[in-house]
Structure 1
Amino acid sequence: MEAVAGLLVMLLAVSHGVETKCDFRKKNGAQCYGALGGTVDLQLMDRAPERLTIYKNTTTILVWTKNTISKYNIKADKYSFTPSDGMLRISNLNRSDTDEYRLQIRNSDGALLDNWTLRLSIQAPVSSVRLVTECMSQGEMRVSCSVEGGDSPQYSWTLDGHTLTEDKLLSGNHETDSITLRQNVEGVLVCSVKNHVSHFNVRISTCGFIFINCTVSKIRITGWVFAATNTLCVEPTTTPTTTDTTVDPSLICGLQTAVAALLFIGIAAYFAWRKNKSQRAEGSAVPQEREDPETSV
């Protein structure tokens, strides 16, 4: 099938400096994600207790005792702890930071009060999204959405803000990276790509094809055409020139009065003429006296 139009859209995303946050307090064994090259904040507790120990697997990260950090086994520029809000920050995340982290809280006598664990996984965020579309000759639209960088990307499609349903698709589904839309689908199409540390949307309008079915100059025309340039069903016509004239209502009233007056005068003249004619006819009907020739001078 021949493609009549194509479009490439690319969204670039900056992945450096992404910050995420995880909470030890939610539940034991919780899953947490950090962005490669970014920073993650681990909420340990509301405030630091008398004695606190944080482990990365079996390695001790720090020990907090009597308001003092008493032990650091890893570089200080990698970890920072804020006792006032119980927050542990891990910076410059790399793949080796993926591990199980454990928090132990003890009282002043050394008795264990809490022992919580959290699993931290480091993912590369999506760095760019590439959207390629093809408008086919019969009105279908083929679209592919791909990413550069990013671990375990997940795809989803919407049309005018609603999840793309199967009745609008010839192939694919709303969770695949490539789809083909049916001919009669119109609207704003959005490809969403995300993982646990990034989320991006790319949008584009559909091809804009319409199905025509008309007769022009006794020729039947049917098929899918590009709506923006379609002239196949336009019948050549000559548009008559029209003049918009506004008439004053008082003028109309005056004309009506004049017509009524003329009509009244015409009727009066007609009856006067009839009367005059009738009188002349009566005068001609009376016999006139004739003079005797013998008496005439």
Structure 2
Amino acid sequence: MMLIFGLMLLLLLQTAACLEFNCRFNQSDPCYAALGHKLNLKMVDASIYHLKIQKRINNNPDDPVCRVKNDKIKECDLFNNRAEVTVINGTLIINRVIRADSGNYTLKLDGSNGTVTSTDLQVNVEAPIGSVEVSISCSSNGMKSVSCSSDGDQLIYSWTLNGESMMDGNTTIELNEETDGNIICSVKNHVSHGQKNIRVKHCPVIQMSLIALGCVSLILILLFITACHFYKRKQLQSTPAPAGDTELVYAQISHDKHKKSEKNKSESLPTADVEYAAVRPQTKRKEKKEEEVQYGEVTFTPNRSNALQESKEECVYSQVQRR
């Protein structure tokens, strides 16, 4: 495996524009190509041999074939007339690799003397690595969880803390509370690699706990105040408003006649008796504080001394004002 990676690094020419890979049909190791990037497949001198490149799908003569003669592509159904595929100086060049380019290929050489030789090559296409992202989360017990992620195919992860290697192959690692320093997540596959450096600090366990406790306490206090408010409001709404009070009002009423008759009778009649009668006023609401004028019907029974002079009951309406 280390030999493969070493060969891949030697063959990889990375520029600002694209990734470029060089492989040979007679190599024993698989050929890796980056999706969307350039692949050069070295064949032989196409001016000497008639070449036939066949992609083995079902291992039969009907598999796609591309014939090359005099350094030019002839009768090619392998690459479906793709303009980005050319042959230059005996090298098959694919300027923009697609996933369909993965597979097993056989190169057959037809010599001028009638000899036929063949060689095989395995081509693997992988998506290169995108940007590497690292995140840190703290748990309630002070432990730290560090996660790493990236785009691409066949990703391999590795970690280093303050320059020392840690476990490989995991996208997430757990660190204890005392861990501090620089941590690096490295991501690679057969066609690219990337890494991200991040600073690891202590998790503020006590501070986080106090903040959480304070928030919970505040919420409980607000809930209690709200519950008390609604309880009192419900009590007030459920208590029926008292009916209007009935009061007994005593009125001092004098038997007043017309002024003329009063003078005539003043000599013969005793002083008008003061009588008290119970008057039931109209019901009033508590909210009204203003004095109300009540009218009540009062029936007087004359004294025996006046029975001869006044034979009929008199109904006197008086304006009664509550005290």
Q: TM-score range by the shorter chain?
A: 0.5 to 0.7
CA distance in structure 2 between the aligned counterparts of 1:76 and 1:121, rounded to whole angstroms:
19
1:138: Cα distance to partner? 6.0
> What is the alpha-carbon distance in structure 2 between the residues aligned to residue 89 and residue 159 of structure 1?
42
Q: Are 2:143 and 2:176, in contact at CA under 8 Å, matched by a contact in 1?
A: yes
Q: What's 1:50 paired with?
A: 48
* Matched residue, 2:92: 88
- Structure 1 151/68 Cα, relative in aligned 2: closer, same or farther at 3 Å? closer
Do structure 1's residue 191 and structure 2's residue 193 form an aligned pair?
A: no
Against the structure 1 CA distance between its residues 139 and 99, is the aligned structure 2 distance closer, same or farther, given a 3 Å change threshold? same
Find 1:177's aligned residue among 171, 176, 183. 171
Does 2:19 align with 1:18?
A: yes
Describe how 1:32-71 pairs up with structure 2 within 5 A: 32-45=31-44, 47-48=45-46, 50-51=48-49, 52-57=51-56, 58-65=63-70, 69-71=73-75
What's the CA shift for 1:124? 1.9
Counterpart residue number, 1:157: 159
With the length of structure 1 as denominator, give the TM-score of the two structures. Answer: 0.53
- For 1:91 and 1:21, the matched residues in 2 are separated by 12
Label 1:69 to 1:108 Cα distance change in 2 as closer, same or farther (>3 A): farther
Per the alignment, residue 302 of structure 2 pairs with: none
Give the gaps of 5 or more residues in structure 2.
1-15, 57-62, 208-323
| C-alpha deviation, 1:183, in angstroms | 3.0
Query: Equivalent residue of 2:107, what SS?
Result: strand
Once the two structures are superposed, the pairs formed by residues 218-237 of structure 1 within 5 Å of their partners are none
The structure with more radius of gyration? 2
Unaligned 5+ segments in structure 1 are: 1-14, 165-172, 211-222, 226-297
Counterpart CA distance in 2 for 1:79 and 1:160 is 47
Instruction: Tell me which stretches of 4 or more aligned residues in structure 1 moved more than 6 Å.
Output: none
Matched with 2:249 is none
Residue 254 of structure 1: aligned partner: none
The answer to whether the 8 A contact 1:135-1:207 is kept is no
Report the alpha carbon displacement of residue 54 of structure 1 after superposing the two structures with TM: 1.9
Task: Tell me: CA distance 1:224–1:156, structure 2 relative to 1, closer, same or farther (3 Å).
Answer: farther
Offset, 1:201: 0.3
Q: Aligned equivalents of 2:158 and 2:81: distance in 1? A: 41
Q: Is the 8 A contact 1:101 1:119 kept in 2?
A: yes
Q: Which residue of the other structure, out of 113, 118, 132, is the alignment partner of 2:121? A: 118
Q: Tell me the alpha carbon deviations over residues 242-265 of structure 1, each in whole angstroms, 9 at most, x when there is no partner.
A: xxxxxxxxxxxxxxxxxxxxxxxx
Higher relative CO (Cα under 8 Å, sequence separation at least 6) belongs to 1
1:102 has 2:136 as partner: no
What value does the CA root-mean-square deviation take over the aligned residues? 3.0
The Cα shift of 1:118 comes to 0.9
Percent sequence identity over aligned pairs: 31
How far apart, in 2, do the equivalents of 1:187 and 1:154 lie?
A: 23
Q: Distance in 1 between matches of 2:66 and 2:163?
A: 46
Alpha-carbon shift at residue 71 of structure 1 (Å): 4.1
